[in-house]
Amino acid sequence: MTSARTRDRLVQRLREQGIRNPEVLERVRTVPRHIFVDEALASRAYEDTALPIGFGQTISQPYIVARMTEALLEGGPLRNVLEIGTGCGYQTAVLSALVVKLYTIERVEPLLRRAKERAKELGLKNLRFRHGDGSLGWPAYAPFDGILVAAAPLRVPEALLEQLAIGGRLIMPIGPEGRQELTRFIRREQKIDRQTLGPVAFVPLVGGAV
- Provide the CA 176 distance to its chain's centre, in angstroms: 19
pLDDT-derived band at 4, boundaries 50, 70, 90: confident
Measure the CA–CA gap between 71 and 197, rounded to whole angstroms: 9
pLDDT-derived band at 1, boundaries 50, 70, 90: low
Measure the CA–CA gap between 45 and 60, rounded to whole angstroms: 11
Q: Is 162 helix (H, G, I), strand (E, B) or coil?
A: helix
Average pLDDT over the chain, rounded to whole?
A: 94
- Residues serving a catalytic function are 60
Phi, then psi, of 52 in degrees rounded to 5: -70, 145
Q: Where are the domains of the chain?
A: 52-200
Measure the CA–CA gap between 153 and 157, rounded to whole angstroms: 8
Return the axis-axis angle of helices 22-30 and 62-73, rounded to nearest 10°: 140
Q: Across residues 96-108, what is the average pLDDT?
A: 97
Q: Across residues 152-172, what is the average pLDDT?
A: 96
pLDDT at 208: 82
pLDDT at 206: 87
Measure the CA–CA gap between 111 and 46, rounded to whole angstroms: 21
Which numeric CATH code is attached to 52-200? 3.40.50.150
Q: Across residues 202-207, what is the average pLDDT?
A: 88
pLDDT-derived band at 2, boundaries 50, 70, 90: low
In the predicted model, is pLDDT for residue 78 greater than 70? yes
For 27-57, what is each residue's pLDDT tens digit? 999 999 999 998 889 889 999 999 999 888 8
- Determine which of 56-60, 107-111, 156-160, 189-193 has the lowest per-residue pLDDT on average: 56-60
